A = this chain, B = another copy of it.
Amino acid sequence: MPKSTIDELKVLVNTKLQSSRAQAEFGVVASYIPELAKAPQNALGVHIIDGKGSSAVAGDCGMSFTLQSISKVFTLILALMDKGETEVFSKVGMEPTGDNFNSMLKLELVRPGIPFNPLINAGAIAISSIISGATPEARNNRILQFFRKLAFNDRIDYDLSVYKSESETANLNRSIGYFLKDNGVLDGDVEEVLDVYFHHCSIQVTCADVARMALVLAYDGIDPITGAKLIPRRYVQIAKTFMVTCGMYNASGEFAIQVGLPAKSGVSGGILTMVPGQYGIGVFGPALNDKGNSIAGVNLLESISKEQDWSLF
């Protein structure tokens, strides 16, 4: 089926964004740390980039935000590149959970101590523990450099006030960390592993950065603009599959049916998604729905995807 060019999308996304922005008032901005609570309720931005570097941009794309759970996609990929499928899948499973994003219930009931998948908090913490690097600082640095390459942006960095707040208040993640340790899933020191995790969640980006990172996934691991081979295709495939089955917390099934694209959301209101072989997409809308996804962002993506017939299915 014929799909719009990036130039046609420039018009479309502006129109769609106007109507989707109205949804923001029904959402709630995350407030568990003061830094997130500052984000404006009504903000909504989208950045779509194609393989030649042309972009369709609308709304509040100047704002920066932290990756939060979006980072889990890329630490998974880095862990796969570091350790391979066998070791990664000895630490995390491959199944969606049907539960809240940080439920400890699931940790316990099925395959005790092995997180269901690498995109829930428990799984991402387990993944953080196997990233190569002699020290936490070395691991943090490898992750940051990897993210910079993917975003083709050497200036992206941590939001240290977010990092500090996350680290100080994250008792639930600490609880998960010690639970994993008790079950033999984490080899190192729990606080050190969590420090890696809090760091990569706190990397600050814009919609443009997220779109560029998504573009690499859309082109099977190659940055189509520079031609750089950044990720083996198989690991992109694994990441995209997880994004379909469990990328949008416990609304992943609904997102697959209504949007039909691999995606990952974060509590800051960001969404990374893509049209494979065509576009990388970054969305930012801090007001969240009751599943923890950007309410206006999901609305916008559903609206564009249905009109453009973007679903993979």
Give residues in A with beta carbon < 8 Å to B. 93-99, 103-110, 116-117, 171-172, 174-179, 181-182, 190, 237-238, 240-242, 244-246, 250-254, 256-257, 260, 262, 276, 311-313
Chain B residues with CB under 8 A of A108 = 103-105
Task: Point out the residues of chain B lying under 8 angstroms from A107, CB to CB.
Answer: 104
Interchain CA distance A254-B242 in the complex, whole Å: 10
Whether B182 contacts A178 by the Cβ 8 Å rule is no
- Which residues of B have CB within 8 Å of A95? 96, 98, 250-254
In the bound complex, residues from chain B placing their C-beta under 8 Å from that of A177 are 175
Q: Sample 11 A-B pairs with CB under 8 A, ordered by A number.
A: A95-B96, A95-B251, A98-B106, A105-B105, A175-B177, A175-B181, A237-B311, A241-B260, A244-B245, A244-B313, A245-B256
Among A95, A172, A181, the most chain B Cβ lie within 10 Å of the Cβ of: A95
Closest 6 pairs between A and B when the two form their complex, measured CB to CB: A171-B182, A175-B178, A95-B253, A175-B179, A96-B96, A174-B178
CA–CA, A244 and B253, complex, Å: 10
Chain B residue at minimum C-beta to C-beta distance from A250: B95
Q: Which residues of chain B are near A179, meaning CB under 8 Å?
A: 104, 171-172, 175
Which residues from B are CB-within-8-Å of A260?
Answer: 237, 241
Contact A238 B252 (CB under 8 A): no
User: Contacts A96-B245, A110-B98: A313 and B178 contacting too (C-beta < 8 A)?
Assistant: no
